[in-house]
């Protein structure tokens, strides 16, 4: 379709990704300019286990103008300061990947070099002493500070844990209030233009046809439009990310401290998450099915959760990778239909958000230009590849060799991009992170050092400080982050007060 106004948008599928799209489009353009229809089926349902996010989620909720308190209250939300990785490097050890920066640069040199000098001179090797999120997590503290009364102190960055099904419900209300039309129905056929191959309409089981100009595929792993209809090839990364299954089961929340972070505990054939919500704890065992059966994985999860189970365990099958064309013709895939990276660093909802951001930046007006489509796909692919490398590093750098799964992770050949980054970090404590990458230097530093990869040297300019100056520099940073943490409330107490 060329030279005609593209103003009829059809979203195939609901769930978190579909309603995130619908809410964003309704907020930006309004019903008066765009006709937005979302088709979903209660029969098909959604996966709905994406309960952990990263701080970028606040850009999305801020864009929508959502009140945080209302959002957290209606989604059983809690705060998240980062992820604790337990037994990943070796059994009995743990480290924390915080959402905020570590230390502060000085004289153009990143803080890690001063930390490495301190370590070499016999000082503490605890990275967390210089990061507010880590210290706050250790004390189970997290709260908002109205007006930021101490702007001189380091900020505290957080994301959310929430019930994904409740988030979809919340965003549905938001979108429908602003003119998005929801159609209940199961898509049974896709009609295409015989000349261009563009999708023209979706046929529902009832016989109704929903026509459109731009189609957004939120059909999950079935990838009905971009995969089954247009045949976009799936690039499989399971040789690097071998976990292909998850068994999930929530349990009752305990009465102890409400942890403001996700826990990821390495197990014999994968890892287990623990995500605290207001009303329950989300649990899941992500595993590689070639090494352990679904039955044994389920047994492992059920016997290791902390509280009384809520419901029956549910098994989800997946494959890490992405579609070669996430935008093809007049179809754009969003969420699981376009690709999936296992949930180790809570990137699933972020990738939906990123796709929405790129869609809005490249929203077509009256044609589907191949240069625009190519640019869009290149940006999305680069993002998937950067996140992929970050995830692989967790597995590759383990010292665990207690099972065939972990021995595979140790022995696997790396993508060249990751091999170069790890080599650079080992040689010079640098990661050469580009501006557009999701995970910045501090994230790479936290994970690589946490996994036991220690640089051979630090920047020579870090030696320009005298011993006294160096000691004072580190002491001042630690004092500042510690003082910031003293101003925070207990996580549970704050939510009870904040949400009433």
404 & 487 share domain: yes
CATH number of the structural domain spanning residue 34: 3.50.50.60
411 & 480 share domain: yes
Arithmetic mean of pLDDT, 212-228 = 98
> Can you tell me the distance from the alpha carbon of 56 to that of 60, in angstroms, rounded to the nearest whole number?
7
pLDDT category of residue 154 using cuts at 50, 70 and 90? confident
461 & 326 share domain: no
The answer to whether residue 378 sits within a structural domain is no
- Mean pLDDT (the chain) is 95
CA angle 315, 21, 370 (to 5 degrees): 105
Q: Which residues pair with 262 in a beta bridge?
A: 83
**Among 27, 31, 74, 80, the one annotated catalytic:** 80
Nearest to 318 by CA among 251, 374, 381, 237: 237
> Can you tell me the distance from the alpha carbon of 430 to that of 109, in angstroms, rounded to the nearest whole number?
11
Residues contacting residue 296 through CB under 8 Å, at least 6 positions apart: none
> Can you tell me the distance from the alpha carbon of 325 to that of 281, in angstroms, rounded to the nearest whole number?
37
> Can you tell me the distance from the alpha carbon of 55 to that of 439, in angstroms, rounded to the nearest whole number?
11
> Which segments within 249-357 are labelled E, that is strand?
251-252, 262-267, 270-276, 280-287, 314-317, 321-323, 327-328, 331-333, 339-340
Strands 234-236 and 321-323: antiparallel
> Can you tell me the distance from the alpha carbon of 315 to that of 338, in angstroms, rounded to the nearest whole number?
21
**260-to-80, 138, 290, 297, 344 alpha-carbon distances in Å:** 5, 9, 34, 27, 17
167 & 156 share domain: no
Domain range for 351 is 8-51+163-240+319-368
Arithmetic mean of pLDDT, 56-77 = 97
The answer to whether residue 278 sits within a structural domain is no
Give yes or no for a contact between 15 and 218, defined as CB atoms under 8 angstroms apart.
yes
pLDDT tens per residue, range 155-204: 899 999 999 999 999 999 999 999 999 999 999 999 999 999 999 999 99
483 & 406 share domain: yes
Arithmetic mean of pLDDT, 468-482 = 96
214 & 345 share domain: yes
Both tokens of 267, joined, read: 């197990």
Strands 35-40 and 181-184: parallel
> Can you tell me the distance from the alpha carbon of 347 to that of 52, in angstroms, rounded to the nearest whole number?
8
The answer to whether residue 235 sits within a structural domain is yes
230 & 180 share domain: yes
The answer to whether residue 478 sits within a structural domain is yes
pLDDT score, position 30: 55
CA 373, chain centre distance (Å) = 24
Least confident stretch, 1-5, 57-61, 321-325: 1-5
Give yes or no for a contact between 183 and 200, defined as CB atoms under 8 angstroms apart.
no
345 & 479 share domain: no
Model's pTM, two decimal places?
0.96
Arithmetic mean of pLDDT, 232-249 = 98
Give yes or no for a contact between 9 and 153, defined as CB atoms under 8 angstroms apart.
no
Strands 35-40 and 8-12: parallel
pLDDT score, position 117: 98
pLDDT score, position 151: 76
17 & 47 share domain: yes
pLDDT score, position 500: 74
pLDDT score, position 490: 97
The answer to whether residue 488 sits within a structural domain is yes
pLDDT score, position 47: 60
3-state secondary structure of 157: coil
419 & 451 share domain: yes
Q: Is the pLDDT of residue 48 over 80?
A: no
The answer to whether residue 144 sits within a structural domain is yes
Which has the higher per-residue pLDDT, 498 or 228?
228
Phi, psi of 262 (to 5 degrees): -90, 145
Mark whether 80 is an active-site residue. yes
Other CB atoms within a 10 A radius of the CB of residue 99 amount to 24
Phi, psi of 118 (to 5 degrees): -60, -40
The answer to whether residue 274 sits within a structural domain is no
Nearest to 222 by CA among 330, 324, 312, 340: 340
Number of compact structural domains in the chain: 2
pLDDT tens per residue, range 265-308: 999 999 999 999 999 999 999 999 999 999 999 999 999 998 99
228 & 178 share domain: yes
Both tokens of 61, joined, read: 């909720």
Arithmetic mean of pLDDT, 417-421 = 98
Q: Which among 368, 398, 429 is the end of a domain?
A: 368
pLDDT score, position 1: 45
Q: Which among 336, 368, 400 is the end of a domain?
A: 368
pLDDT category of residue 259 using cuts at 50, 70 and 90? very high
The answer to whether residue 73 sits within a structural domain is no
pLDDT score, position 148: 67
Helices (H) and strands (E) in the chain, counts: 14, 22
CA angle 289, 395, 377 (to 5 degrees): 85
Residue 480's Cβ-side half-sphere holds a number of Cα atoms within 13 Å equal to 18
Q: Residue ranges of the alpha helices (H) in 146-213?
A: 164-177
Q: Is the pLDDT of residue 45 over 80?
A: no
404 & 469 share domain: yes
> Can you tell me the distance from the alpha carbon of 79 to that of 137, in angstroms, rounded to the nearest whole number?
10
pLDDT tens per residue, range 111-151: 999 999 999 999 999 999 999 999 999 999 999 876 666 77
């Amino acid at each position: 379709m060329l030279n005609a106004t593209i103003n009829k948008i059809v979203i195939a599928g609901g769930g978190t990704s579909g309603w995130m799209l619908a809410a964003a489009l309704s907020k930006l353009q309004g019903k008066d300019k765009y006709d937005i229809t979302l088709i979903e089926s209660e029969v098909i349902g959604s996966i709905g286990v994406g309960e952990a996010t990263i701080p970028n989620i606040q850009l999305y909720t801020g864009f929508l103008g959502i009140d945080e308190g209302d959002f957290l209250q209606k989604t059983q939300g809690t705060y998240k300061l980062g992820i604790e990785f337990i037994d990943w490097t070796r059994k009995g050890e743990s480290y924390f990947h915080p959402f905020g920066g570590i230390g502060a640069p000085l004289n153009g040199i990143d803080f890690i070099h001063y930390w490495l000098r301190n370590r070499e001179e016999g000082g503490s090797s605890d990275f967390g002493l210089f990061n507010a999120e880590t210290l706050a997590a250790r004390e189970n503290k997290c709260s908002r500070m109205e007006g930021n009364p101490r702007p001189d102190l380091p900020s505290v960055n957080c994301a959310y844990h929430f019930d994904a099904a409740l988030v979809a419900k919340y965003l549905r209300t938001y979108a429908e209030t602003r003119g998005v039309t929801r159609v209940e129905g199961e898509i049974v056929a896709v009609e295409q233009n015989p000349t261009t191959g563009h999708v023209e309409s979706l046929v529902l089981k009832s016989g109704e046809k929903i026509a459109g100009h731009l189609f957004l595929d939120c059909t999950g792993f079935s990838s009905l439009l971009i995969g089954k209809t247009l045949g976009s090839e799936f690039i499989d990364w399971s040789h690097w990310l071998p976990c292909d299954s998850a068994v999930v089961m929530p349990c009752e929340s305990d009465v102890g401290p409400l942890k403001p972070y996700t826990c990821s505990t390495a197990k014999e054939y994968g890892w287990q998450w623990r995500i605290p919500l207001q009303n329950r704890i989300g649990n899941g065992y992500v595993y590689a099915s070639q090494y352990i059966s679904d039955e044994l994985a389920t047994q492992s999860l059920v016997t290791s959760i902390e509280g009384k189970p809520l419901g029956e365990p549910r098994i989800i099958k997946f494959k890490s990778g992405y579609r070669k064309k996430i935008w093809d013709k007049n179809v754009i895939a969003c969420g699981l239909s376009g690709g999936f990276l296992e949930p180790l660093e809570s990137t699933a909802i972020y990738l939906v958000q990123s796709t929405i951001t790129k869609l809005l930046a490249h929203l077509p007006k009256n044609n589907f230009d191949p240069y625009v489509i190519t640019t869009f796909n290149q940006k999305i692919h680069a993002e998937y590849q950067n996140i992929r490398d970050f995830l692989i590093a967790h597995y590759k750098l383990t010292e665990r060799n207690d099972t065939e799964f972990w021995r595979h992770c140790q022995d696997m050949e790396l993508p060249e991009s990751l091999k170069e980054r790890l080599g650079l970090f080992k040689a010079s404590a640098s990661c050469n992170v580009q501006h557009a990458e999701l995970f910045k230097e501090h994230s790479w530093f936290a994970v690589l050092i946490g996994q036991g990869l220690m640089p051979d040297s630090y920047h020579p300019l870090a030696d320009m400080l005298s011993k006294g100056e160096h000691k004072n520099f580190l002491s001042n940073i630690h004092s500042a982050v510690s003082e910031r943490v003293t101003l925070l409330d207990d996580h549970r107490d704050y939510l009870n007060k904040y949400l009433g």
